[in-house]
Amino acid sequence: MNQFEPKIITFLCNWCSYGAADLAGVSRFQYPPNMRVVRIPCSGRVSAKMILHAIRNGADGVWISGCHPGDCHYIEGNYYARRKFYLLKELLEYSGLEPGRLQFSWISSAEGVKFAEVAHEVIEKIRDLGPASRFIKRLPEVA
Amino acid sequence: MELNDTLRDIAKKLLEEGRVDAVLGFRQSSLAHMTEPFLATTAEQADQLVFNSCCRMNLAVYLTPDLFRSGRPESGKKSPRVAVTAKGCDSRNIVTQIQENRYKRDQVHIIGLPCTGMADKAKLLAAAPEGIDTITEKNGTLILSRDGKETVVSKTEVLQSNCLSCIIRNPVIRDEMAGDPVPELDMDSHPDRFADVAEIEALSPADKAGFFETLVSDCTRCYACRNACPLCYCPVCFVDESRPQWVGKTIAPTDVMAFHLLRAFHDAGRCTDCGACEAACPMDIPMRAFTRKTIKDAREGFGWETGMDLNLRPPLDRFDLKDPGDFIR
Amino acid sequence: MKPIHIKKEAFGPAMAKAMETYAVAGPVPDREDAKRRHLFRCLEKGETPDLEYTATQLSPKALLFPQAETMFRFKVPSGGKKAPFLEAESFKERPLAVVGIRPYDARAFDMLTLNFDSKDYKDPFFLKRCHQMVRVGLADTTLKDTNFSTACGTGPFDTTALDILLAKTEDAYIGTVITAKGKSFAAAAGFEAGSAEDTKALARMKQEAESRMRPGPDFSALADADTLDLHGEDHWARLAFSCINCGSCTFSCPTCWCFDIQDEVTGNDGVRLRLWDTCMTDLYSAHASGHNPRQERFKRFRNRFMHKLKYFPDKYGQGIMCVGCGRCIDNCPVGIDIRTIIGEMNAKAAGAAKAAGTAKTGGTDKATEAAS
């Protein structure tokens, strides 16, 4: 087993996708353990700085999941997030990030099955891309 | 009448009549190919105001809370009204700043400048390697003279690249004009408007990464691009935040890229492509390659063109149910 | 002072020979597509300093004082049983010869040294490099309009801070060997001896270059002016109005030496870095309490000029902290000219001295006091 195991930073909205992860767990839907979950109050809370920070610190992928359009706990947070993520994803991929490293999804707290499925897809896609090589911050060498 | 004379007359009149407390404009710098942003507070000082092809900075940068506070004396006088000379792009940044509640529309008196583009500093110096004593503009040409010798260049040849794809040459909002409006280039829906961006988009991810690493490799992190930008007015810039530290302070490629990427993203939906960042860069880095992408995306994704209408909220402060969402599972 | 004469075609082989003994740094075109820009860096085998360059946008100070310098690396083993580990700078470098440096830029190295080699502190990183560095200068015969180095007590042919001075002629580099260090380098590179003709030609070129320079600013009244008076003048906000407080002046300046030290840590592994800093940013003078004595932009602007033109001369007694290279003028995005600022400061100082002279008779005014 020399298969590459990616590390993926996952931002999950407290009101939906985090619950979905919970539901997938109690329902015993299996998915690979390559994610490190960060619970957030709303997908709108995730800023570009956080995503780039994860990538700079060596995450092989970043996955952000929030509520379906219309279901936001804060009424419209995910709509703002959508605009922001659209611009950010385009900009990062324009500057050399491989398509697939940055993933987004809408998963409600009732969708445990979808959560496990998307987790599979995200992880496999990033596994196929191999270890991250761009934008990573490494400590300078001693001269 | 020459545009500069009209400009000075307008400024003098505004100051003499007490309609404004100061006029923000440009004056000639000690170098022929440079101008210096300048605040005239008396009619006498207004005589120094100029507008030519070397007014590359964006004056909206100087419309700070400090400026509006500065003249408020103990007498309880209301905050000063400032007149600002504005090119097309400057005016769009003023619109953006008003949208973002930096100040109110009635605090600024906008003297519109019809603009036919700015001459690129590097291109001017390359055209006259011996140096330039004076620059005279005549019928679309620039006459660069040095010790009596003259080099004539066509203005189009030395224009900044952002001016070639300019969509608004006359100010979108103004209280008066210092000259007749110039014809627009009609670039806004021109098929080649974003040809430069499309070229980069067509590269492979590895080539894109290589392209941008070379592009910013000379960056010294002096932040001239940030400070020359009328959008960059955060009280604490993300590069100066230390807990957590989002961006390392070294000149390693990854830190430099992180700075330019986040800077560009902060300008997404706000950038007017005024070119002040590139004009300010001491290393001539064409960092508009980043911001141009965000302009293209905001246009294609949300039908947004920055700074055209005072009554619209900024694009990231609103949404549409039909916004692009295909990238979300 | 021994004359040397190197044919242009012999220069490349001479550098290759010198590289057997020395690490060589010099001006090279930045990139193939950026012909107008040269920068100073350490050269690889097979590279030759391009002495046909006209100017560099950045000064060569990074060779002595890198923009980002790793001072040491540390590791704190987890578990807490083993002692933390620390790896310091090793200085394995060969002696570095900087070839093609401008004489006034070399003079700036001496100014940096005043700060890094003081009575109170001797900076090991800087001094190690400084002591082993050989400075092979190239006289500036393609002076920019903004250069006022002669007014600053140095000049395009100044030999005071060099080991060897070269000057470019049609088909050769002529020059003189100034120090013993220079002599060793000339021997290692196999520079041919020159003749009395070359010495004469050099003197002629020097006079010709200096005569073409534009008059520099006058700062004669600053030395005797009162520091607090200069600091408190009412013109600073006006002078600083256009300044956007970027660091293009300080980063391109050969004499600005301010730095910031910070740790970069991942997990248990970290490095301590020394990084260029600039007094133009508010972070530079921000206190941990949140207070900032230079919160307003003009105060930062004032500090830069006061430091160069008043605090430094008063502290070290070796003239102003400026060699007149003109880079800050060329690079300033808003057209601020240090010569203009010097002029304004000097006029205020001269005015104050004159007022003091007329007010007090009997020679007890400040200027006379300071002079005695």
CB pairs under 8 A between B and C: 114
One domain for residues C204 and C295: no
Q: What is the pLDDT along chain C (372 residues), one digit of tens a residue?
A: 789 999 999 999 999 999 999 999 999 987 765 555 788 999 998 899 999 998 898 999 999 999 999 888 888 887 767 777 777 766 566 789 999 999 999 999 999 999 999 999 999 889 988 998 999 999 999 999 999 999 999 999 999 999 999 999 999 999 999 999 999 999 999 999 999 999 999 999 999 999 999 889 998 999 999 999 999 999 999 999 999 999 999 999 999 999 999 999 888 889 999 999 999 999 999 999 989 999 999 999 999 999 999 999 999 998 999 999 999 999 999 999 999 999 999 999 999 888 887 765 544 444 444 443
Task: Look up tokens 């003499």; give the residue.
Answer: B16
Q: Determine the Cα–Cα distance for residues C338 and C249; give it in Å rounded to an integer.
A: 10
Q: What is the pLDDT of residue C365?
A: 46
Which residue in the set C275, C278, C331 is minimally distant from B282, CB to CB? C331
Which residue in the set B29, B39, B222 is minimally distant from C241, CB to CB? B39
Residue C119 CB: number of other CB atoms within 10 A?
A: 5
- Residues of chain B found within 8 Å of residue A69, distances taken between Cβ atoms: 321, 325
Q: Is B154 helix (H, G, I), strand (E, B) or coil?
A: strand
One domain for residues C127 and C178: yes
Give B236-252 as a DSSP string: S-GGG--TT--S-SS--
Task: Look up tokens 């534009």; give the residue.
Answer: C214
One domain for residues C341 and C296: yes
CA distance A26 to chain B (A): 23
A117: nearest CA partner in chain B: B329
3-state helix, strand, coil in chain B (%, to 5): 35, 15, 50
Residue C125 CB: number of other CB atoms within 10 A?
A: 19
Q: Determine the Cα–Cα distance for residues A1 and A4; give it in Å rounded to an integer.
A: 9
Q: What is the rounded average pLDDT of the residues B282-311? A: 95
Please write the tens of the pLDDT for every residue from A95-116. 999 999 999 999 999 999 999 9
Q: Is A78 helix (H, G, I), strand (E, B) or coil?
A: helix
User: Above 60 in pLDDT, residue B73?
Assistant: no
C51 lies in which domain range? Answer: 2-65+94-212
Cis peptide before B129 (omega within 30 of 0): no
Report strand pairing: C68-75 vs C85-88: antiparallel
C87: tokens are 């790896």
Q: What is the pLDDT of residue C78?
A: 77
Task: Look up tokens 């990033």; give the residue.
Answer: A126
| Long-range Cβ pairs for the range A16-19 (8 Å, 24+) | A16/A65, A16/A66, A16/A67, A16/A68, A16/A71, A16/A73, A16/A106, A16/A107, A16/A108, A16/A109, A17/A65, A17/A66, A17/A67, A17/A105, A17/A107, A17/A108, A17/A109, A17/A115, A18/A109, A19/A108, A19/A109
Task: Look up tokens 């004359």; give the residue.
Answer: C3
Q: What is the rounded average pLDDT of the residues B237-261? A: 92
Does some domain include residue C240? yes
Which residue in the set C145, C244, C264 is minimally distant from B228, CB to CB? C244
C333: nearest CA partner in chain B: B280
Q: What is the rounded average pLDDT of the residues B82-103? A: 96
Quick check: C165 and C182 in contact, CB under 8 A? no
Residues A8-129, CATH architecture: 3-Layer(aba) Sandwich (3.40)
Half-sphere exposure of C169 (CA within 13 A, CB side): 19
Angle between helix B253-266 and helix B205-215 axes, rounded to 10 deg: 90
Q: Determine the Cα–Cα distance for residues B231 and B92; give it in Å rounded to an integer.
A: 11
Q: What is the pLDDT of residue C362?
A: 47
Quick check: A71 and A108 in contact, CB under 8 A? yes
Q: Which residues pair with B27 in a beta bridge?
A: B36, B49
Residue C21 CB: number of other CB atoms within 10 A?
A: 16
Domain ranges of chain A: 8-129
Number of domains present in the structure of chain C: 2
Q: Determine the Cα–Cα distance for residues C173 and C51; give it in Å rounded to an integer.
A: 9
Which range is least confidently modeled, A1-5, B141-145, B210-214, C37-41?
A1-5
Q: What is the pLDDT of residue C80?
A: 67
* Element containing residue C167 per DSSP (H, E): strand C164-168
* Integer angstrom CA distances of residue B204 from B208, B256, C296: 6, 21, 46
Q: Determine the Cα–Cα distance for residues C115 and C123; give it in Å rounded to an integer.
A: 9
C92: nearest CA partner in chain A: A143
- Residues of chain A found within 8 Å of residue B208, distances taken between Cβ atoms: 94-96
Which residue in the set B131, B222, B251 is minimally distant from C246, CB to CB? B222
Q: What is the pLDDT of residue B168?
A: 94
Q: Is B232 left (phi over 0), alpha (psi -120 to 50) or beta?
A: beta
- Residues of chain A found within 8 Å of residue B326, distances taken between Cβ atoms: none
Q: Determine the Cα–Cα distance for residues B230 and B94; give it in Å rounded to an integer.
A: 9
Which residue in the set A57, A137, A142 is minimally distant from C72, CB to CB? A142
Q: In terms of C-beta density within 10 A (0-12 exposed, 13-18 middle, 19 or more buried), how is residue A134 classed?
A: buried
One domain for residues C37 and C175: yes
Q: In terms of C-beta density within 10 A (0-12 exposed, 13-18 middle, 19 or more buried), how is residue C16 classed?
A: middle
Does some domain include residue C46? yes
Q: Determine the Cα–Cα distance for residues C254 and C246; give it in Å rounded to an integer.
A: 17
Sequence-distant (≥ 6) Cβ neighbours of residue A112 within 8 angstroms? A20, A23, A24, A26, A27, A29
Sequence-distant (≥ 6) Cβ neighbours of residue C81 within 8 angstroms? none
One domain for residues C242 and C164: no
What does the longest C-alpha to C-alpha distance in chain B come to?
A: 68
Interchain CB distance below 8 Å, C251 and B222: yes
Q: Sheet harboring A102-106: ordered strands across? A: A35-40, A8-13, A61-66, A102-106
* ipTM score of complex: 0.93
Which range is least confidently modeled, A31-40, B299-308, C146-155, C363-372?
C363-372
Interchain CB distance below 8 Å, C333 and B252: no
CB contact, 8 Å: B256 with chain A? Answer: no
3-state helix, strand, coil in chain A (%, to 5): 40, 15, 45
> Chain B, 269-308: which have a CB under 8 Å from a chain A CB?
269, 290, 293-294, 297-298, 301-302
C242: tokens are 């256009």
| Long-range Cβ pairs for the range C12-15 (8 Å, 24+) | C12/C48, C14/C189, C14/C190, C14/C191, C15/C48, C15/C49, C15/C99, C15/C189
C260: nearest CA partner in chain B: B249
User: Above 80 in pLDDT, residue B30?
Assistant: yes
Q: Determine the Cα–Cα distance for residues A32 and A44; give it in Å rounded to an integer.
A: 26
One domain for residues C143 and C285: no
Q: Determine the Cα–Cα distance for residues C314 and C293; give it in Å rounded to an integer.
A: 22
Q: What is the pLDDT of residue B68?
A: 84
- Residues of chain A found within 8 Å of residue C270, distances taken between Cβ atoms: 139
Q: What is the pLDDT of residue C370?
A: 45
Q: What is the pLDDT of residue C37?
A: 77
Q: Determine the Cα–Cα distance for residues B71 and B74; give it in Å rounded to an integer.
A: 10
Q: What is the pLDDT of residue B77?
A: 58
A83: tokens are 């605009």
A101: nearest CA partner in chain B: B205
Amino acid at A86: Y
Q: What is the pLDDT of residue C21?
A: 92
> Which chains reach chain C with 3 or more Cβ–Cβ distances below 8 angstroms?
A, B
Interchain CB distance below 8 Å, C67 and B251: yes
Does some domain include residue C251? yes
Q: In terms of C-beta density within 10 A (0-12 exposed, 13-18 middle, 19 or more buried), how is residue B282 classed?
A: buried
Residue B235 CB: number of other CB atoms within 10 A?
A: 6
Q: Determine the Cα–Cα distance for residues A22 and A15; give it in Å rounded to an integer.
A: 11
Which residue in the set A89, A96, A99 is minimally distant from B209, CB to CB? A96
pLDDT band with cut points at 50, 70 and 90 for residue B75: very low
Q: What is the pLDDT of residue B87?
A: 96
> How many residues can be counted in chain B?
329
Report strand pairing: C134-138 vs C96-101: parallel
CA distance A99 to chain B (A): 8
CB environment C93-112: b (16+ within 10 A), e (fewer): eebbbbbbbbbbbbbbbbbb
- Residues of chain B found within 8 Å of residue A49, distances taken between Cβ atoms: 238, 246, 262
